[in-house]
Structure 1
Amino acid sequence: MLLMLAATLTACGPSQPSESVDTLVANPDRIKEIQRQCKEDRSKVGDELCLRAAEAANRRFFGDRPEKKSK
């Protein structure tokens, strides 16, 4: 029972602070750092943060252009 409690508490450790896409857009050096980490070990960084960094890089490159709608 004690071992199960210890395992449960270990799993509830502090999580990394979440960075929004908007925050990353304002910090291109952080985007590059996250992208590097994602290439090295995506499972350690997490899919969500990797996707946010990719979206931030796209926004920096393409700007805030409205999407074209197909006819």
Structure 2
Amino acid sequence: MKKMSLLLAALLLSACDKPMPFESAEALAENPNRLKELRLQCRDNRAELGEAQCNAVSDAQRIRFMGKGTTYTPHPVQFFHSGSDNGR
């Protein structure tokens, strides 16, 4: 009976662990002070902060450096001037 109560207590305690709040890359890219703080934490102890959060930190760093990018808008290519009568 004592083993069962210890097992139940251990199970309840392990279920109480809440996941750490996760900050998105977009939110971190808008807040450079928080981004710097989390970059240092990821560098010093990546396991404590979590792999997903450190990946979001690196994505935020990339967004701040490279930008969000522009959408691809293809432009028509004209090899020959087709406005003239003889094609030149």
- % identity of equivalent residues: 35
Query: What is the Cα deviation at residue 17 of structure 1?
Result: 1.1
Higher RCO (CA < 8 A, seq sep 6+): 1
Q: Which runs of 4+ in 1 moved over 6 A?
A: none
Work out which of the two has the higher radius of gyration on C-alpha atoms and give 1 or 2: 2
Mapping for residues 2-41 of structure 1, pairs under 5 Å: 2-12=5-15, 13-41=17-45
User: Unmatched 5+ residue regions in structure 2?
Assistant: 73-88
- Rounded Cα–Cα distance in structure 1 between residues aligned with 2:71 and 2:55: 19
If the length of structure 2 is used for normalisation, what is the TM-score? 0.67
Q: Structure 2: how far apart are the matches of 1:44 and 1:10?
A: 19
Q: Which has the higher helix share?
A: 1
